Amino acid sequence: MTKLSVNINKIATLRNARGGNIPDLIKAAIDIQNFGADGITVHPRPDERHIKQKDVLDLSQIIRTEFNIEGYPSENFIKLVKTVKPHQVTLVPDPPEAITSNAGWDTIKNFSFLKDIITDLKEFGIRTSIFIDTNLDFIAKASEINCDRIELYTEPYAALFPINKEKAVAPFVEAANFANKIGIKINAGHDLNLQNLKYFNEKIPFLKEVSIGHALIADALYLGIEKTIAAYKELLE
């Protein structure tokens, strides 16, 4: 069964809008785990506009499932994840001012940069994943970088899915099959939701994990967080 990691950035965004501690990010993370999520994902940014560095440190004390920290591998980010030692670090190519992730790594252009970082992180016993598009050349290079996993950037799939789901998923099936063949495990994330997740998961049966935040937290406004997590988990069975 594909694991569900819940990205809680949007809960932190809501809290930060008013200051204080409502909603309580730590309580939310505990509840999300208790309601059946397989992991918690956070994406701390330099401006701390949602997840703050203190949040990451506090969360590391209460995560009993799997902790995935994603972000651009700046000096401060690497220092933070070495301190926390999460189960997984997902490297994304976002510049500091990006609103959200909008592309995967060019692993050819950034080969030496990424390889040095991943070698360093693996010495700390941290599983590594690279956020990446369906470009087969980039995936092949990711294998040479020696990352454990890739996370397929699924916004193009989500955008095309309502129009032509077969065409939408085709490049992702090809990319996943190729990665699986060369020994890289596959995660996925970005704009996956209750409408498009089941089909994606069925087409990639060896998918290890999906990281979902924006859509899941939005659905929870209508359904409640417990029912929402159950609904997403059901799609992954």
- Residue at 66: amino acid letter: E
Residue with tokens 């301190």: 83
DSSP 8-class letter at 164? -
Torsion over CA: 42, 48, 54, 55 (sign): negative
Q: Which two tokens stand for residue 11?
A: 């809960």
Give me the active site residues, please.
43, 70, 190
Spatial separation of the C-alpha atoms in residues 216 and 212, rounded to whole Å? 6
What are the residue ranges of helices labelled H in the chain? 9-18, 25-34, 53-59, 75-84, 111-122, 136-145, 155-160, 165-181, 197-203, 214-223, 225-235
Q: How many CB atoms lie within 10 A of CB 137?
A: 10
Cα–Cα distances in Å, from 30 out to 26, 44, 191? 6, 19, 24
